[in-house]
Amino acid sequence: MQLIGDDIIISDKALDYLKNFLESRNYSKVLVLSDENTQKHCAGAITFPVDKHIVVPPGEQFKNLSTCTQIWDALLEAGADRSSLLVNLGGGVVGDMGGFAASCYMRGIDFVQVPTSLLAMVDASVGGKVGIDYRDYKNMLGQFAPPEMVFIQPKLLETLPERELLAGYAEMLKHGLIANAGYWLELLEFNKRRLKLQIEESVRIKHAVVEEDPDEQGKRKILNFGHTIGHALESYALSEGMDVLHGEAVAAGMFMESIVSSKAGLTREDIDQICAGIRSLYPILPFKEDQAEAIWTLMLKDKKNKSGKVRCVMLPTLGEAIFDMDLSFPEFEEAFRNYLNF
């Protein structure tokens, strides 16, 4: 068992620790939120008493106010009060949305995260950001609301398709690129046998950054590397009905934000290494050059922007990152074109 900070447990017996946690508390009700996939594949691992299972449809397209309303209705119907606990059993969508729903219900009830995807284990469940999408804008509604605990059980990944694993792996690549060049180099070879130790390293990196800047006023912004462009790609894909996962969009975003990092000092050699490494793991997404302006329009609504200027994270060198760097449309368009023609 690995304890990171005071509230993150990584263990192949993490759900046993969750059971012990519940026995140490006096919650009036325990409710479990999952989507249809995690309810089918992971709910059987739960051995503690549950007052109600709340099941929502899977997918980013359901991470919205309408689904939150279903969650709140279910909480009301179950008689959940301010002493109740919501267990979010699922991937990033379930964790983000469940945390948001819990943080709003009766001005906030306790919740814990039990991530079942690699993306959720190394990113979404750590750091206390919760939220939902709004009008095709990624995570436009949300807040900082830390869970009581995070229980990470890597064995739950055994039911995950490789495409989903690689989507989560993109966030791990990001951790290496912004904070640990040696880790980045190790990750260039995807090896499932190393995943448990790599999950621990990624969680340590993110936890350390969040501890230093919990409300994202400074250094925590480096965790957004690849996300300014990546979120716009994901939002555009969602609006057009394209099959693009969050991690795939972030990988493409890191590819492009590495290219524009030349103005922050990143060398041509490092840019080429990053682009080749990402391309070896992920296919080029099915965007077209004439979609650049529509994607840029979405980037103009990014919540990290200031005074109408698009801001992103850039790399001066491997393993280091700087935030609040201005990005122009010509810079994005060139990087977008290079990505599509790599």
- Residue 211 is predicted with a pLDDT of 95
CB 240 within 8 A of CB 251: no
Q: In this prediction, what percent of the chain has a pLDDT beyond 70?
A: 100
Task: Return residue ranges of the chain for CATH 3.40.50.1970.
Answer: 2-159
CB 31 within 8 A of CB 84: yes
- In terms of CATH architecture, what is 162-340? Up-down Bundle (1.20)
- Residue 259 is predicted with a pLDDT of 98
Provide the CATH number for the domain formed by 2-159 in this structure.
3.40.50.1970
Report the DSSP pairing between strands 110-115 and 85-90: parallel
* pLDDT, block means (10 residues), the chain with 342 residues: 96 96 96 95 91 96 97 98 98 97 98 97 95 90 96 93 96 98 97 95 97 94 97 94 95 98 97 98 97 96 85 98 96 98 94
Count of helix runs (H) and strand runs (E) in the chain: 13, 11
User: Which tokens sit at 58?
Assistant: 């899977």
pLDDT in tens, 297-335: 999 988 888 878 999 999 999 999 999 999 999 999 999
- Residue 123 is predicted with a pLDDT of 94
Alpha carbons 112 and 28: distance in angstroms, whole number:
15
Closest-CA residue to 318 (of 270, 253, 265, 252): 270
- Residue 301 is predicted with a pLDDT of 87
Task: Return residue ranges of the chain for CATH 1.20.1090.10.
Answer: 162-340
- Residue 306 is predicted with a pLDDT of 80
pLDDT in tens, 34-75: 999 999 999 888 989 999 999 999 999 999 999 999 999 999
What is the secondary structure of 220-279 as a DSSP string? GGGGGTTHHHHHHHHHHHHHTT----HHHHHHHHHHHHHHHGGGGT--HHHHHHHHHHHH
Residue 10: strand pairing partners: 2, 152
- Residue 302 is predicted with a pLDDT of 84
Alpha carbons 68 and 294: distance in angstroms, whole number:
28
